[in-house]
Structure 1
Amino acid sequence: MEDGQKAPVDGYAFPVLGSSVDGVADVFARLAAELHESGGVEETVEAVVQFALQALNCSHAGVALATRGGRPEVPAATDPVVVEIYQWQMAGGNGPLVQSMREHTTLLVRDTETETRWPDWAAKVRSLGVRSVLDVPLTTATGTVGVLGLYSVEPDAFSQDDEAVAHILARHASVAVATARDQETLARAVDARKLVGQAMGILMERYDVNGDQAFAILKRYSQDTNTKLRDVAQRLIDTRRLPH
């Protein structure tokens, strides 16, 4: 392995900042392509944490994503320790990850041994062997989509170079995650439209109604049973019967 590089992951060798600006730029150009080709949201965030583990001075990494319900989800983590830290923090509603997601700010904990902003959280994290933490929000023009969490077993592990790389990674990840979510939403919408169309066809044939009437029937059953229109359509296709 050449000087100034970390161990390769998925064919990439990560140069240390300062060793070669062109090398760093090339790595992140390839990283951007890799993220945008990852597929779904889970594949995208898994690529993010694996790159973070190799490109940054961290022992563990994870991504927590914001959800419409308000409670973040943890779709990717490099170690069960990260999942435990996230879940404990989200249950308590207090800690740097929660604040980073809520306030769209980067938060650095140099040493959990001396951290005073979140003493209970710091004690818990320290008991898991983690001494320093860097939480970087994943933000887009519409808001925060999640947080990239970096953890080290060493105190004061994250340098200014690490923070700079983390912010670049977070920017790439933000766009990739938002794009993957939009694609999944569009795919679900297209799938739902196809299902409703099939269900309307069944009603039109069975009851000799037109398209508008068939859609009105599905909509009425959806409202009366408090069931999503897509689910009503799926039920009709599967059973050839409308819900009771």
Structure 2
Amino acid sequence: MLGMPLTAGMDDAEVSAGMLAVQFAGLTRALVAAGSVAEVLRRVVAAAKEVIPAADVVSVTLRGPDGSFHTPVETDPVAVQLDELQYALGEGPCVDAADPEGPAYTLSDHMADEPRWPRFGRAAAERGYGSMFAVALLTDNRPVSGALNVYSGGRGTLTPTDIDTGLLLATHASLALAHTQAVEFAELRVAQLTRAIETRDVIGQAKGILMQRRGIDADEAYEVLRRTSQQLNVKLFEIAEALAHRGGELQ
């Protein structure tokens, strides 16, 4: 019948699957047109944030030939902080999944009392993230390995369907990484370090403004930025940048 929506007569699961298929078709076209590995990875994390309902922040971990870790792309600087905390502690879902000998994926829906990663789990929960999964990026015995990381603010919010979606997205990222040479890996790391320095500088400026105007300490200032970011569904870096550049005050 003319005028009838395409989804008429379909249940919620069928509608969701259809929408996901459209998303992946578009992502595949975009990845084919991508000009670099970094661009592919950026598209993958953006897609994960869009198609996984419970995803609050998403990132990619890369593990270099020397065993060192870094985060070349993310949807929010908070993801870099959470990733780097795992790197520093030597424990966490992304550290395990990025290990070439590690599992295909790792999942925790109760970070606060996660026995496998007790230090990171408590720290993540304290920062407002109760669930996480990391999917391994398979690079066909290349020296570079990695993981696609999805963080959620709730407990028990990540579903088997979300894992399946993550596995499909990780396949796209893995195909891009399969052709990554050592030089390009080094370039990704330099770019990430530069961005991290710029991000920390902007967030530091914003925290300083809040500390001065509100008479609070650094931890309280960061919590204001984090809470405002979640309430407005805007990246923490963008909140900090607006405050640092305009000198305004968050309510």
Q: State the TM-score bracket (shorter-chain normalisation).
A: 0.5 to 0.7
TM-score (norm: length of structure 2): 0.62
**DSSP-derived class of the 1:19 partner:** helix
Unaligned runs of 5+ in 1: 5-15, 189-244
Distance in 2, Cα, partners of 1:153 & 1:3: 33
Identical positions, percent:
28
Q: Residues of 1 paired with 2:39 and 2:49: CA distance? A: 16
- Residue 19 of structure 1 deviates from its aligned partner by 1.9
Alpha-carbon spacing, 1:3–1:137, altered in 2? closer, same or farther (3 Å): farther
1:30 aligns with 2:29: no
The residue aligned with 2:92 is: 95
2:163: which partner in 1?
Answer: 163
Which of 62, 65, 70 is the aligned partner of 2:67?
Answer: 70
Unaligned 5+ segments in structure 2 are: 188-251
Question: What stretches of structure 1 move > 6 A for 4+ residues in a row?
Answer: none
Q: C-alpha distance in 1, partners of 2:72/2:55?
A: 19
Q: Any residues of structure 2 matched to 1:110-129 within 5 Å, and which?
A: 110-129=109-128
1:176-191 to 2 correspondence within 5 Å?
176-179=176-179, 181-182=180-181
Structure-1 residue corresponding to 2:202: none
Match of 1:19 in 2: 15
Alignment match, 2:195: none
Cα root mean square deviation, aligned:
2.6
Q: TM-score, normalised by structure 1?
A: 0.64
Q: Tell me how far apart the structure 2 counterparts of residues 178 and 33 of structure 1 sit (CA, whole Å).
A: 19
**Residue deviations 1:160-195 (CA, integer Å, cap 9, x gap):** 11111111111111102333x25976xx9xxxxxxx
- Partners in 1 of 2:6 and 2:166 — Cα distance? 21
Match of 2:172 in 1: 172
Q: Whose radius of gyration is greater, 1 or 2?
A: 1
Matched, 1:41 2:37: yes
- Is the contact between residue 81 and residue 128 of structure 1 (CA under 8 Å) also seen in structure 2? no
1:104-154 CA-partner distances (Å, limit 9, x unpaired): 420011111231111111111111110100100111322562100000111
Out of 42, 45, 54, which is 2:50 matched to? 54
Change (3 A) 1:20 1:111: closer
* 1:89–1:121 contact (8 Å) kept in structure 2: yes
